Amino acid sequence: MSKQAQKLHPTIRPFYPDAKPIPTEAKNASLNTLSHKVQESQGEDLEQARHNLLWKLMGEYIPAEKDSVQLSFVNHMEYTLARSRFNLDAFSSYLAVSYSVRDRLIELFNDTQEYFISSKAKQVYYVSAEFLVGRFLRNALLNLELEDLYRKSLAELDVSLDQIYNEEYDPGLGNGGLGRLAACFMDSLATLNLPGWGYGLMYSFGMFKQIIGADGSQLEIPDYWLNFGDPWRIQKPTVCHQVHFYGRCENGVWKPSLTINAVANDFLIPGFGTDNTLALRLWSSKPTVELDEEKFRGGDYFQAITMKQRCENLTSVLYPNDNTYEGKEMRLMQEYFMSSASLQDIIRRLKTHQKQDIRQLPKYAAIQLNDTHPTVMVAECLRILMDEEDMGLLEALEITRKVFSYTCHTLMPEALEKWDVPMFQNMLPRHLEIIYQLNQYYLDDVRAKYHVTDDVIRNLSIIEESNPKKVRMANLAVIGSHMVNGVAAIHSELMKIYVFKDFAQLEPKKFINKTNGVTIRRWLHHCNPALSQIINRVVGDEKWALNAEGLTALTKKQDDPNFIAEWEAVKLANKQHLAELVKKTTGVELNPEKQLFDIQVKRIHEYKRQQLNIFSIIYRYLNILEMTPAERAKLVPRAMIFGGKAAPGYYAAKKLIKLINNVAKVVNADKNIGDLLKVVYIPNYNVSAAEIIIPGTDVCEQISTAGTEASGTSNMKFAFNGGLIIGTHDGANIEIGDAIGNENVFFFGEVAENVDTYRAAAEHPIPAGLRRVFDTIRTGLFGDVNEYECLIYPVEHGDNYLVAKDFEDYLDAQRRCDEAYKNKEEWTKMSIASTANMARFSSDRTITEYANEVWGIHECKLPVVEPIEASGVQQMGVGSVGGSLRRHQSAAFAEQAPSSNGPTLSKGTYGSLSRKSQIPVPAAQPVQDSKNDDHDGEIEIDYN
């Protein structure tokens, strides 16, 4: 509930569903009177009387008052959880509080959706295989500006809000930067009042929970994050679409042999500084028939439920291991399942809510494909338009291209998905026919318009002529989209040069850059409250959390000794919190006051070069052993902290984790080293851990091989929190250096344009220091020598990731970092400069650019109704009279809705900065009846 809503007198909401002026009878009569009226009425009068009563029952927002919070909490404890309100354990208290907060989100979400529909607003649909959302409770309370109210209200019931925060499980809905970016984008969409939805999959077990075995190896166990339910998940069994697989095609008619139901699960995403609330819709797989009745009657109970289990397993795990045929098949099934269900839902919304013909889809929908996982959606769209809407290929392709845009997140060839044609044909036979038809049309069109070679045609083709042939999903996305973007300036240029060279030469305007960003609500305001408080004092209020340009005010304090001391104190407190996490998860004790905290937390991959980091740590350890006491006294003590998961089938990455942990065992047990060097590996790195790690970081490692990291977003999170960067000229590091000053980044290493030349060289010398490291590993000091050859051999034979090439320059960057840290005042000035100049890397800026330049969507902010005399309506289920009346509803706002040519968002402000505005509600106008249409393969009751 917004602060503005708390200040307003109770405000009457427009009448629904007729959208007529609110009858005087409904406004002034009591619930008792209206109830009697229903009992006495007949015919049209009965319908009107029911509408009056329904409006009156839900006329108010849940009040933002202590009594309301407490009553809602105990109601959910007793009625939702069936627990005694006199026995409040921590986990049950977390659930009850979450349901209480969710009630408020549901009100706002329903009103937001009604307003979008009545406004006939074009919406964006962000489709992603993962959404790494993190915990919901605190984020929701902070965005709703209710944390203080809930903390004080619950304290009277002997419930600690801070304690129950830790009862929430991190949702297993994502893994790395791709999923976290999607979550940041959803936060920005809601905060900027932009109409949209997120679409993905409802994973039962996530990727996996990482534990570190006694020998230092990564062990994967299921992530049972849903074992005790999830209060933020709103299951919608009435929103269900049928998705088909396998079978055969006869004369262009698909006859599938397997059908699975996609059932909606919604997670609500509140905006900050606004009442607008969006939804992330995730699909769970369910059987169309619960069991095989014939087998059940025959007593074969296990076989009777086999199909049910197979269907439900489809959305069990994020990224099945694709080292086997079965794993590849399940991954493709997941991607098509997500794509088909999401597209059916989008089209249903167009036809049911907007009452529009399918040819109007580009006017009402923009679909953003987040990487190659959902790109089969292009083929599915063509299939629906051609087979179900009776269009020809050209008309279907024109509509499809206007709707879709595609984000490429990689320069790594192996990350651009390709599917074997035989497997694709077996699973999606009709889609393969359409892909061949599209491919033939596109290549013929290119030949007719341009003078191109056969090599160019081969590169442009959706079908790779290998053995077996493969379907190139990235090429399908490029051909079926009107816009393709990279995610950092250097990445977008390299993408045009290497990944989509021939496409970019034919259609250069199709390829653009949209540098990634992160939400500063979660990644500064929420995760670093102490730093946020001193920023508030400098800026004047919290407006910087809505417009990151406000952070530039910190520059005027950069030379203030008192402010520098305050900044250092906040950093030390955050380092102490991080040290507590390290102690709890690894047992290793750190020294926050003396040690420089050096962090590398991200997915484990050779191109991200955790091996370069651990090799340098071994080098540092060997040097310390040889130093005199006088030399040691000059050293900056270091705590080297790692975290991140390796894919279960990625052998080298898993051995790298084992090496890091075994180096840690040796170093941390060496009493001759003490606090001069500690090495730790935090297991099961996730969003909640990141919210502690990032504020407590002195310097972070962004050391990918130049030209391999698309953008990276962890670099942005660290920099917003004043963590400095040791990094290569790669991804967003370059743009961060441009923004905060290259003098505030410890750059090193080869640049991207020279990488190919180095790789092609006949020899790749190993520096003496690195050779010594390899020799030490091969002595067995850190365990079985043979296990680490997969890390050493590639460096000695080809050095594909430039570990040998960059090693000495990397050591020099570390030395420069140490020297800078010795001067704490100058170091802190660099830290302040980092935070002050990071505005460009807010995801609000990124989303504003997408909205204006790619999607063509406009701000659609819930209006605030003029306050009028209170009606004294009682809020059912809360028991409090008064409060803030619900003030948004359906077509009553249609006259205020932005047109399709409405104002674009300002790049300077990134949308509305406050909830202060009060917009009068126009007289309600009649609208078309919105009864649901019938559609094959779906059940639909809920208007959302």
pLDDT tens-digit map of 506-521: 999 999 999 999 999 9
CA-based end-to-end distance of the chain: 21
Can you give the pLDDT at residue 886?
A: 43
- Three-state SS string over 59-87 comes to CECCCCCHHHHHHHHHHHHHHHCCCCCCC
Angle, CA of 11, 14 and 19, to the nearest 5°: 175
What pLDDT was estimated at residue 882?
32
Confidence of residue 303 (pLDDT cuts 50, 70, 90): low
Q: How confident is the model at residue 296 (pLDDT cuts 50, 70, 90)?
A: low
∠ Cα 124 334 484 (to 5°) = 40
Question: What is the percentage of the chain residues whose pLDDT exceeds 70?
Answer: 88
Provide the residue type at 852 as one letter. N
Residues 262 and 242: their CA atoms lie apart, in Å, by 6
pLDDT band at 298 (very low <50, low <70, confident <90, very high): low
What confidence tier does 413 reach under pLDDT thresholds 50, 70, 90? Answer: confident
What does the pLDDT look like over 90-125, one tens digit per residue? Answer: 999 999 999 999 999 999 999 899 889 989 999 999
Cα angle for residues 417, 421, 423 (degrees, 5° grid): 90
| Amino acid at site 913 | L
Position 925 scores a pLDDT of 35
Rounded to whole angstroms, how far apart are CA atoms 487 and 480?
Answer: 19
> CATH 3.40.50.2000 region(s) of the chain?
120-134+170-513, 520-841
- Distance between CA atoms of residues 149 and 688, nearest Å: 23
What CATH number belongs to 120-134+170-513? Answer: 3.40.50.2000
Does residue 799 have a pLDDT over 90? yes
Listed range (108-112, 298-302, 854-858) with the worst mean pLDDT: 298-302
For the ranges 106-110, 189-193, 568-572, 640-644, the lowest mean pLDDT is seen at 106-110
- pLDDT given for residue 2 in this prediction: 43
For the domain 520-841, what is the CATH superfamily, name and number? Glycogen Phosphorylase B; (3.40.50.2000)
Which residue type sits at 734?
I
Radius of gyration of the chain (CA): 29
Q: What digits encode the pLDDT tens for the residues 627-642?
A: 999 999 999 999 999 9
Mean pLDDT of 804-815: 99
Question: Which amino acid, 903?
Answer: P
The residue-averaged pLDDT of 57-80 equals: 92
Peptide bond before 17: cis, by omega within 30 degrees of 0?
yes
Instruction: List residues with catalytic annotation.
Output: 409, 602-603, 608, 713, 717
585 C-beta neighbours (distance < 10 Å), count: 17
Q: Cα dist. 154→75, 151, 213, 911 in Å?
A: 13, 5, 40, 34
With the CA atoms of 557, 560, 561 and 562 taken in that order, what torsion angle do they form, in degrees rounded to the nearest 10? -70
pLDDT at 176: 86
- pLDDT tens for 250-273 read 999 999 999 999 999 999 999 999
268-289 core/surface letters (b: 16 or more CB in 10 A; e: else):
bbbbbbbbbbbbbbbbbbbbee
The string of pLDDT tens digits covering residues 573-600 is 999 999 999 999 999 999 999 999 999 9
Average pLDDT of span 794-814:
98
- The predicted structure's pLDDT at residue 308: 75
The span from the CA of 822 to the CA of 937, in Å, is: 67
Tens-digit pLDDT profile for residues 130-184: 999 999 999 999 999 999 999 999 999 999 999 999 999 999 999 889 999 999 9
Q: Which helix (H) or strand (E) holds 308?
A: helix 306-313
